[in-house]
Amino acid sequence: MANGEARNRLVGEMAKIGIRPVIDGRRGGIRESLEAVTMEMAQGVAKLLSAKLRHSNGLPVECVVADTCIGGVAEAAQAAAKFERAGVGVSITVTPSWCYPLETIDAHRAMPKAIWGFNGTERPGAVYLAAANSAHNQKGLPVFSVYGRDVQDMGDSSIPADVEEQLLRFAKAGLAVATMRGKSYLSLGSVSMGIAGCIADETFFQRYLGMRNEYVDMTEFVRRMNLGIYDPEEYERALAWTKTNCKEGRDVNPPELQRTAEQKAVDWETVVKMTLIARDLMIGNPKLAELGYGEEALGRNAIAAGFQGQRMWTDYFPNGDFMEAMLTSSFDWNGIREPYVLSTENDTLNAVTMLMGHLLTDAAQIFADVRTYWSPDAVKRVTGHTLEGAAQHGLIHLTNSGPAALDGTGLQRKDGAPAMKPFWDIAEAEASACLAATEWCPAVDFFRGGGFSTDYQTAGGMPVTMARLNLVDGLGPVLQLAEGYTAELPQDVHDVLDARTNETWPTTWFVPRLTGSGVFRDVYSVMHAWGSNHCALSYGHVGAELITLAAMLRIPVNMHNVDEARIFRPSAWKAFGTADLEGADFRACEKYGPLY
Is 75 within any annotated ligand binding site? no
Quick check: 146 and 170 in contact, CB under 8 A?
Answer: yes
**Cα 591 from chain centroid (whole Å):** 26
The widest CA-to-CA distance across the chain, in whole angstroms, is 92
Q: Cα(152)–Cα(139) distance, rounded to whole angstroms?
A: 30
- The C-alpha atoms of residue 379 and residue 487 are separated, in whole angstroms, by 14
Peptide bond before 311: cis, by omega within 30 degrees of 0?
A: yes
Active site residue 369: yes
Question: Would you call 13 exposed, middle or buried from its count of C-beta atoms within 10 A (0-12, 13-18, 19+)?
Answer: exposed
415 is a catalytic site residue:
no
Distance of alpha carbon 310 from its chain centroid, rounded? 25
Distance CA 391, CA 269 (A): 41
The residue among 559, 553, 532 whose CA lies nearest residue 198 is 532
Helices 30-52 and 161-180: angle between axes, nearest 10 degrees: 70
| Four-CA torsion 538, 543, 548, 549, nearest 10 degrees | 20
CB 227 within 8 A of CB 565: no
The residue annotated as part of the active site, out of 369, 455, 483, 503, is 369
Burial of 386 (0-12, 13-18, 19+ CB in 10 A): exposed
Under 8 Å between Cβ of 365 and 405: yes
| Cα within 13 Å of Cα(92), Cβ side | 32
Q: Is 280 annotated as a binding residue?
A: no
Instruction: Kindly report the number of other CB atoms within 10 A of residue 121's CB atom.
Output: 11
| Residue 315 counted as an annotated binding residue | no
Extract the annotated binding site for Mn(2+): 345, 369, 534
| Binding-site residues | 345, 369, 534
Active site residues: 345, 369
